[in-house]
A and B are shown apart, each in its own frame.
Chain A
Amino acid sequence: MTDSRQFCGRTRREFLWQAGGGFVATALAGLLDDAFFARQAVAADGITPFRNPLAPKPGHFPGKARSVIFLFMYGGPSQVDTFDYKPKLVELDGKTIPIKTFGRAGHRNEGRVVGPRFRFRQFGQCGKYVSEIFPHLGQCVDDIAFIHSMYAESPIHGSALLMMNCGRILSGHPSLGSWVTYGLGSENENLPGFVVMLDKTGGPISGPKNWSSGYMPAAYQGVILRADGTPIHDLEPPPGLTRDAQRRLLDRLRQKNEEHLTQRSFNSELAARIACYELAFKMQQHAPEAVDFSQETTKTLSLYGIDHPRTADFGRKCLLARRLVERGVRFIQIYSGGAHNDDNWDAHTDIVANHGKHAGNTDKPIAGLLQDLKQRGLLDSTLVVWGGEFGRQPTAEYAQGSGRDHNSYGFTVWLAGGGIKGGISYGATDELGNAAVEKRTHVKQLHATILHQLGLDPNRLTFFYGGLDQKLVGVEGAEPIREILA
């Protein structure tokens, strides 16, 4: 303890660098082995050439999954109207019962039960009960592990979104996608490693904070990608500048920068900046190719529902997600729902209209994605996650109607692929579906599971900041949900 060089196994050099002591943003620490550090330390001196902070790097152990597709059902889907079948609610429908709930409307001790507004039926070999709003997803249940015992720390959108995305209800922490790209880099340098696709109605509450890199370098923040038009902001050369003309311009820039560099070869940042212009140029070519669906068959387009106006939008995003996975993009997040109120899953007034709409827009595309990944042999290495920032209450929010308030006491998420067991349900809420009671699963355990499947030890993936080895799963750590691992 007296030798601070040895504290937590870090040398002073490592610290210097993590403190952001003015060096290039190759500030990677914690998970990296000594050899990597030795190399990086030289880079920090400015002698060795640039290493892209997003260059692929090995995890702590070989992971089953290479990529993650996080389907974020923003607004909070109701568990009892989707995958958490609660027949008891049917008989109690309309009755006012004592029940402890906590949502936007505060703490309540009783409420009027709103029975499930959709019929459930059994699907697959596992006989999973699924709501009728997911006829296509129902066909996939044998590939899915449902976690019914999720709980989170806030039933308020802003902080709950931060919790699901960044692991804390407080602002300022890096998002899951940032942690993953920090830990593993990305396999395709011509595309961003962490991309986010938003709903056409707008972003979620708090917007970019949900894909922020927090206290990590900006290199790890999510990049917004669009499935139509220009996929990435600022990707297209300005009007009037053809690709060839731009190449000519970049050749002169490179020449100029290399002359500047000859006198300053000790500064690796300069070389890094030269390299980045070349990467950007390549990205301009490759990113549009990724969103070009002209080589996809009609059958594929139809599988994702792209041939139907209602499902076309989300379908395109799901198909793009598959194409990005094929191209080695590490972390893809797609939002279902945006903006406010019924533009997302936030069904405060009418559960039927709201969930009918959002499930109808996404059911076929998501099922298509799972099937397509499977038939292409990609599902084993792609972890698909479905869920929102919380669930909804089994009781009504208002005196009239079927709207439900937020509920972080219990909700459902599901995972598929990437080494997750299919056809199983893990944990349970009480008989009303209100609160997780069996095998209660905190959001950080979900995060731990995702990291673990990627080959990252959630308790060893750290970033030194603010006097502390920060972790996505908090200092206390979290274990993956081993029972759902194949």
Chain B
Amino acid sequence: MNPTATRMQNDCANLRLPKVAKACVLLAAVCFDHADFGVADESSKPGETAPPVRFSAEDLDFYARQVEPLLKEHCLKCHGGGEKIRGGLRLTNRDAILKGGDLGPAVDLDKPADSLLLKAVNYRDGLEMPPTGKLPAEKIAVLTRWVERGLPMPSDSKSVADHDQPGPSPADRSYWAYQPIRRPKVPEVRNAGWVRNPVDAFILARLEAAGLEPAPEADRVTLIRRLFFDLLGLPPTPEEVDAFVRDPVPDAYERLVDELLARPQHGEKWARHWLDLVRFAETNGYERDGPKPNAWRFRDYVIRSFNADKPFDRFIREQLAGDELAHRWEQEGRDETDIAEAVIATGYYRLGLWDDEPVDLEMARFDGLDDIVATTCQVFLGMTMNCARCHDHKIDPLPQTDYYRFLAFFRDVPHFSLTRDVTSKFNQTDITPRARRVLYEAELNRRTQRIEELTRQLTEIEDEAIRKMPAEDQRAAEGVDRPQVVKKVPMFLAEPRRQEYERLLKDREALRKLPMPPREMALSINNCLVPPPPTHVLIRGNPHAKGPAVEPGYPAVLGFADPVLPTISPGARTAGRRLVLADWIASPDNPLTARVLVNRLWQHHFRRGIVASSNDFGKYGTKPTHPELLDWLADEFCRPADPSDAWRIKRIHRLLVTSSTYRMASRTRPELLQRDPDNELFSRFPMRRLTAEEIRDAMLAVSSKLNLRQFGPSIYPPIPREVLAGQSRPGEGWGTSSPEEASRRSVYVYVKRSLLLPILNQHDLADTDNSCPVRYTTTVPTQSLGMLNGAFTNEQAAHLADRLRREAPNDLAAQVRRALRLTTGREPNGREIADDLALIADLRDRHGISEAEALKWFCLMQLNANEFVYLD
């Protein structure tokens, strides 16, 4: 049985190995050719087929009568000439067999018994063919004889086509996303008055070419609500709306944007987008779904980074190589906060799934590395490199070697933990500030000395007592059983010696139990593998089938020179490779990094990226709707006129949200809808539903319960018992938080892979097992049930009703008006208020509900309104 082999089949194994048949297979075939014919011809090129061999009539008869029927019955369905060829192996002609499949030549004529084919039919070495059950012994004997006779077969069938392995073709290299970023000319437009910044020129040029006009500018209430949710993830208060609507200053809008970008809540909103991408979770998944200690520090790091407008290139370097930066910065005497931040950033590597009880540890290690390769390539480069783990990428020019060359950069990253312990020396780093570390060490020192002193005194008394004990106890006390003997010590002591002994004992115990001054630990990478183990291409992704060794390298199609790796000096803490990779990614010369990031910024402001498949800029992804705009933004991002602006994300936010494009109304005329049904040209602003976090946070905000306290360990809002019942140990891994703590923003809610807060889960929270570039927007009845009947919405409705009574006492109409303003921002009209008042009156008069209760139900309804949950 070989679970590994089966597993690979079940994953995305491409058993046809398109143009792959990687060098490894070819080399194996060549070696075999030499062995077979004893022609050690050095000039032999990989892939050359064997010269024809002649077999006796008797041999061929044996094949025709005994072997061929057997192959037809048991093998050729999968290893014949048909559609499905498994494992790249064809048994239809001799050359094909000698060339072999993904695992190498199927037959070794020199050592017939070592032939993979015979191993497979004998179910040896993890190979099992046919998979439906072992052949009867007599059939295995036929195949064995066939191989021993030198594989006689008629030579009428054609040799399989050669697998060639050329480098990337010019066509591959010319793909748009692999071209260097060059700033395009800002297009000329007729309606120049509409253009506030170059973004608008690019959008308008396309609209004008299509004969379309942009939608008119949205009103100020709509704009401030849009800006609040897009930049902060929270609704504006009615007072903030009024202040903006009445603001007479010409640049009121721009000033509002700057103010919002400077608020601490901005980082909380945008951190969430990043956390989706880097599959942030605070547990490991699988059976125990145990905690990732100190994962919250990574979340705080991301929030701080966005708030501080940390340049994106530094943000990349810290996450991919923060430990290496930290070592460098320590030597440079840099500020220790920076050093701690860089260490915390490497939590990036620790956020994925980790199985504490893997079926195959070696496979589990490579699953961990695959998670890193997949995430890094999709998130930073928009490349689906993960498709090339077992075979060449099916559509993008990424050969399997590229995958393993990329993986080699991460080869010094140790596995999360090698035991079932969630805490390991590989995943935690002490980041206690120096001032406190000194205290800690002093305290530790003091205590150790005191304990030693107490122990010395205790031993003295113990020895005294032991000398009075029976001989066998005295003997026992000399060995490992001393602790047993020591228990009897008090019985052999006279007062006050006994009292003294017990006092000393108590003192020592108390000292041992006394908590130490806290240390700050970070989820991170630590104790890297130096020197890193060699990296091999793994045949069909199987870690037990190593192909040729590879060195770290960039995807070949991008045409960069091979990286220059640092030599590993004695005592080095890392291999130094990850910083090399990070520098390459965080470079304006990298064609993908800046494009991919500005596209994400666009995506979250305009609901869909310029490239809609924002984690995949490859051929399987979508083409950019506005390629020039994408390039202009990318260039403006990484090569701005003022170099100190380089990689600054807030600048791009400002550029996007101050554009006329962003300020368009979402409503449109039917004829425009027909002309641009998908809004591919961005002829209007796209409406969007609030995200899961925004829905919960907005409810808390309008109910006045939102607690804006920032940072720190995650919170546990209550989860109903019915939901906890789904766990094998209901409630396990979910703590309790005070009502105030439980009312903090959703970004601080504990992210447990196997247990999600219902209000968030119902509104399409990101799945944390993989990078999530785009969230779904699902609309199903069970969601409505949760919104109508769920505990959370009902509690917030009650709080909102209380707030209304507080803020507009004894005036029901004013309370309704206030509720509408809080939930929609706009001034309600008289008819709306009258209808809502009629509802409250009806509930009171016809349904026997008190007015206070009726107000609560009205609030519940208002929190369910489309206008509250959707953004214009």
Q: Per a CB cutoff under 8 Å, which of A215, A232, A270, A279 touches B770?
A: A215
Which A residue's beta carbon lies closest to that of B762?
A: A218
Check if A119 is an interface residue, CB within 8 A of chain B: no
Is there an interface contact between B722 and A224, defined as CB atoms closer than 8 Å?
A: yes
Interface segment, A131-139, A150-158, A368-376?
A: A150-158
A442 to B132, CA, bound (A): 9
In the bound complex, residues from chain B placing their C-beta under 8 Å from that of A466 are: 384, 386, 770
In the bound complex, residues from chain A placing their C-beta under 8 Å from that of B767 are: 172, 214-215
A409 to B359, CA, bound (A): 13
B850 → chain A, closest Cβ, in Å?
A: 9
Docked complex: B604-643 residues within 8 A CB-CB of A? 607-609, 612-613, 616, 618-623
Is there an interface contact between A153 and B688, defined as CB atoms closer than 8 Å?
A: no
Q: Per a CB cutoff under 8 Å, which of B7, B14, B131, B395 touches A440?
A: B131
| Chain A 26-68: CB-based contact to B (< 8 A → 1; otherwise 0) | 0100000000000000001111001011100000000000000
Is there an interface contact between A249 and B13, defined as CB atoms closer than 8 Å?
A: no
Q: Per a CB cutoff under 8 Å, which of A22, A157, A171 touches B608?
A: A22
Interface segment, A255-263, A297-305, A355-363?
A: A255-263
Check if B775 is an interface residue, CB within 8 A of chain A: yes
Is there an interface contact between B866 and A261, defined as CB atoms closer than 8 Å?
A: yes
Which of A27, A223, A248, A261 lies at the interface centre, i.e. has the most chain B CB atoms within 10 A of its CB? A248
Is there an interface contact between A260 and B754, defined as CB atoms closer than 8 Å?
A: no
Q: Per a CB cutoff under 8 Å, which of B285, B689, B726, B847 touches A198?
A: B726
A97 → chain B, closest Cβ, in Å?
A: 18
Q: Per a CB cutoff under 8 Å, which of B384, B688, B867 touches A22?
A: B688
A170 to B386, CA, bound (A): 15
Check if A92 is an interface residue, CB within 8 A of chain B: no
Interface segment, B114-122, B244-252, B520-528, B834-842?
A: B834-842
Check if A126 is an interface residue, CB within 8 A of chain B: no
A43 → chain B, closest Cβ, in Å?
A: 11
Interface segment, B25-33, B232-240, B666-674, B705-713?
A: B666-674
Is there an interface contact between B723 and A442, defined as CB atoms closer than 8 Å?
A: no
Is there an interface contact between B678 and A279, defined as CB atoms closer than 8 Å?
A: no
Number of A-B contacts (CB under 8 A): 321
Is there an interface contact between B134 and A205, defined as CB atoms closer than 8 Å?
A: no
In the bound complex, residues from chain A placing their C-beta under 8 Å from that of B133 are: 149, 437-440
Is there an interface contact between B726 and A25, defined as CB atoms closer than 8 Å?
A: no
Is there an interface contact between A245 and B849, defined as CB atoms closer than 8 Å?
A: yes
Is there an interface contact between B359 and A159, defined as CB atoms closer than 8 Å?
A: yes
Docked complex: B137-180 residues within 8 A CB-CB of A? none
B129 → chain A, closest Cβ, in Å?
A: 11
Q: Per a CB cutoff under 8 Å, which of A27, A219, A233, A255 touches B780?
A: A219
A340 to B279, CA, bound (A): 29
In the bound complex, residues from chain B placing their C-beta under 8 Å from that of A266 are: 667-668, 670, 673
Q: Per a CB cutoff under 8 Å, which of B9, B12, B288, B781 touches A283?
A: B781
Which of A204, A279, A476 lies at the interface centre, i.e. has the most chain B CB atoms within 10 A of its CB? A476
In the bound complex, residues from chain B placing their C-beta under 8 Å from that of A158 are: 286-288, 355, 357
A112 → chain B, closest Cβ, in Å?
A: 21
Is there an interface contact between B622 and A154, defined as CB atoms closer than 8 Å?
A: no
A78 to B781, CA, bound (A): 40
In the bound complex, residues from chain A placing their C-beta under 8 Å from that of B499 are: none
Is there an interface contact between A440 and B132, defined as CB atoms closer than 8 Å?
A: yes
Which B residue's beta carbon lies closest to that of A74?
A: B728
In the bound complex, residues from chain A placing their C-beta under 8 Å from that of B832 are: 256, 259
Is there an interface contact between B386 and A208, defined as CB atoms closer than 8 Å?
A: no
Question: Which label, helix, strand, loop or mixed, suits the secondary structure of the B interface?
Answer: loop
Check if A322 is an interface residue, CB within 8 A of chain B: no
Is there an interface contact between B777 and A154, defined as CB atoms closer than 8 Å?
A: no
A255 to B620, CA, bound (A): 44
Check if B779 is an interface residue, CB within 8 A of chain A: yes
A102 to B478, CA, bound (A): 44
In the bound complex, residues from chain A placing their C-beta under 8 Å from that of B720 are: 233
Check if A252 is an interface residue, CB within 8 A of chain B: yes
Is there an interface contact between A238 and B620, defined as CB atoms closer than 8 Å?
A: no
In the bound complex, residues from chain A placing their C-beta under 8 Å from that of B753 are: 171, 209
Q: Per a CB cutoff under 8 Å, which of B1, B14, B728, B783 touches A340?
A: B728
Check if A96 is an interface residue, CB within 8 A of chain B: no
A158 to B775, CA, bound (A): 27
A202 to B730, CA, bound (A): 7
Q: Per a CB cutoff under 8 Å, which of A25, A54, A256 touches B867?
A: A256
Is there an interface contact between A280 and B842, defined as CB atoms closer than 8 Å?
A: no
Q: Per a CB cutoff under 8 Å, which of A24, A250, A276 touches B777?
A: A24
Is there an interface contact between A437 and B134, defined as CB atoms closer than 8 Å?
A: yes
Docked complex: B299-332 residues within 8 A CB-CB of A? none
Which of B688, B753, B782, B794 lies at the interface centre, i.e. has the most chain A CB atoms within 10 A of its CB? B782
Is there an interface contact between A203 and B842, defined as CB atoms closer than 8 Å?
A: no
In the bound complex, residues from chain B placing their C-beta under 8 Å from that of A340 are: 728-729
Check if B693 is an interface residue, CB within 8 A of chain A: no
Check if B532 is an interface residue, CB within 8 A of chain A: no
Q: Per a CB cutoff under 8 Å, which of B15, B289, B836, B846 touches A206?
A: B289
Check if A236 is an interface residue, CB within 8 A of chain B: yes
Is there an interface contact between A218 and B10, defined as CB atoms closer than 8 Å?
A: no
A207-B754, A218-B761, A475-B12 known; A240+B781 contact, CB < 8 A: no
| Chain A 230-253: CB-based contact to B (< 8 A → 1; otherwise 0) | 101111111011101110111011
Interface segment, B563-571, B653-661, B853-861?
A: B853-861
Check if B188 is an interface residue, CB within 8 A of chain A: no
Check if A90 is an interface residue, CB within 8 A of chain B: no
In the bound complex, residues from chain B placing their C-beta under 8 Å from that of A15 are: 613, 620-622
A43 to B380, CA, bound (A): 33
Q: How many residues of B contact A (CB 8 A)?
A: 112
A54 to B72, CA, bound (A): 45
Check if B81 is an interface residue, CB within 8 A of chain A: no
Is there an interface contact between A207 and B726, defined as CB atoms closer than 8 Å?
A: yes
B778 → chain A, closest Cβ, in Å?
A: 4
Check if A267 is an interface residue, CB within 8 A of chain B: yes
Is there an interface contact between B836 and A252, defined as CB atoms closer than 8 Å?
A: yes
B598 → chain A, closest Cβ, in Å?
A: 17
In the bound complex, residues from chain B placing their C-beta under 8 Å from that of A172 are: 353, 767, 769-770
Check if B687 is an interface residue, CB within 8 A of chain A: yes
Which B residue's beta carbon lies closest to that of A438?
A: B133
Check if A264 is an interface residue, CB within 8 A of chain B: yes
In the bound complex, residues from chain A placing their C-beta under 8 Å from that of B847 are: 242, 244-245, 248
Is there an interface contact between A153 and B10, defined as CB atoms closer than 8 Å?
A: yes
Is there an interface contact between B687 and A206, defined as CB atoms closer than 8 Å?
A: no
Is there an interface contact between B367 and A170, defined as CB atoms closer than 8 Å?
A: yes
Is there an interface contact between A217 and B785, defined as CB atoms closer than 8 Å?
A: no
A52 to B779, CA, bound (A): 8
In the bound complex, residues from chain A placing their C-beta under 8 Å from that of B353 are: 170-172
Q: Per a CB cutoff under 8 Å, which of A171, A198, A223 touches B769?
A: A171
Which A residue's beta carbon lies closest to that of B856?
A: A240
A437-B133, A467-B620, A476-B13 known; A202+B782 contact, CB < 8 A: no
Is there an interface contact between B728 and A207, defined as CB atoms closer than 8 Å?
A: yes
A296 → chain B, closest Cβ, in Å?
A: 25
Q: Per a CB cutoff under 8 Å, which of B359, B677, B777, B781 touches A25?
A: B777
B621 → chain A, closest Cβ, in Å?
A: 8
Is there an interface contact between B779 and A206, defined as CB atoms closer than 8 Å?
A: no
A209-B285, A218-B762, A467-B386 given. 17 additional CB < 8 A pairs?
A23-B777, A24-B778, A45-B673, A53-B780, A102-B1, A153-B3, A159-B358, A208-B727, A224-B725, A234-B789, A241-B849, A245-B847, A249-B843, A250-B861, A279-B784, A474-B10, A475-B14
3 shortest interchain CB distances as A-B pairs: A172-B769, A158-B287, A25-B778
Q: List 10 A-B contacts (CB under 8 A).
A: A19-B613, A167-B10, A170-B353, A214-B767, A218-B762, A241-B857, A269-B779, A276-B783, A409-B1, A442-B6
Could you list which residues of chain A lie within 8 angstroms of chain B, going by C-beta atoms?
1, 4, 7, 12-13, 15-16, 19-25, 27, 44-47, 50, 52-54, 100, 102, 149, 151, 153-159, 167-172, 189, 192, 198, 202-209, 214-215, 217-219, 223-224, 226, 230, 232-238, 240-242, 244-246, 248-250, 252-253, 255-257, 259-261, 263-264, 266-267, 269-270, 272-274, 276-277, 279-280, 283-284, 338-340, 408-409, 435, 437-440, 442, 444, 466-468, 474-476
